Amino acid sequence: MERIVFRDVLPHVFADRADIGSDIWKSEAVFEKGRLYLVEAASGMGKSTFCSYLLGYRHDYTGIILFGDDDVRGYKTADWVDVRMRRVSLLFQELRLFPELTAWENVEIKNRLTSFADNKTVDTWFERLGIADKKQSLIGEMSFGQQQRVALMRALVQPYDFIVLDEPISHLDDDNARVMGQIVMEEARKQGAGVVMTSIGKHIGLDYEKTYRLTCWRN
């Protein structure tokens, strides 16, 4: 999949608003493979909704979303499974980790499905992200910032054309945010993938090729 296009897309929740100013909603936004994007929005303006559309978890919108030349309105369940397994990887804002499993198990449970990353690579990520001593800790006993780093590793253990990170550093300090950015870009380049970061303020300091402002209200 070489590109994702949002064309005149508007979530139903905003249908009655005539004062929307947006680079994505009711506009045309193009995300190309191999490029780096930042999506900025105030809280409650549809950022996580945007991410949900990319994985087919929600369909409550008007307009057209294209994956390549395909209108995703025509996708069946099997098509969305393929998207989630091979085309788009998402680091959820709410993480969606399994609290009863260890940090290592949360990464490994997905890696067993994809057979994508070897143990040495995953070990290196744990080291670089400063949580090597937490591999056998239960997720439910870890801080949110530590969990964010585990969720990143889980997002990386699959093939993808685009990787989307929804507020990935909300609970990280600058040093860990920098390392996270380095790892994401290294892994994305290996696959020639596009990277989409979302933010409501704090974001990883990278050389974004394009910034989209998701929503604001016109005066």
pLDDT digits (tens, 9 = 90+) for 132-142: 999 999 999 99
Confidence of residue 43 (pLDDT cuts 50, 70, 90): confident
> What is the distance between the alpha carbons of residues 193 and 130, in angstroms, rounded to a whole number?
25
Return the CATH number at 62. 3.40.50.300
Q: How far apart are CA 48 and CA 93, in angstroms?
A: 8
Quote the CA–CA distance of 135 and 138 in Å, as a whole number.
Answer: 8
Per residue in 72-124, pLDDT tens? 999 999 999 999 999 999 999 999 999 999 999 999 999 999 999 999 999 99
The percent of residues above 90 in pLDDT, for the chain, comes to 83
Given a cut of 70, whether residue 68 has pLDDT beyond it is yes
In this structure, the number of other CB atoms found within 10 A of the CB of residue 181 comes to 20
Q: Does 64 score more than 80 pLDDT?
A: yes
pLDDT number for residue 214: 86
The pLDDT of residue 92 = 92
Q: What is the mean pLDDT of residues 165-178?
A: 92
Q: What is the pTM of this model?
A: 0.92
Q: Strand 36-40 relative to strand 61-67: parallel, antiparallel, unpaired?
A: unpaired
pLDDT at 145: 95
pLDDT digits (tens, 9 = 90+) for 178-213: 999 999 999 999 999 999 999 987 788 889 999 999
Tell me the average pLDDT of the chain.
93
Query: What was the pLDDT predicted at 8?
Result: 95
Let me know: does 70 contact 4? Beta carbons within 8 Å: no
> What pLDDT score does 217 carry?
58
End-to-end Cα spacing for the chain:
38
Report the SS3 class of residue 169: coil
Q: Is the confidence at residue 218, as pLDDT, over 60?
A: no
pLDDT at 219: 47
Quote the number of domains for the chain: 1
Range of the structural domain that residue 82 is part of? 3-217
Per-residue pLDDT at 84:
96
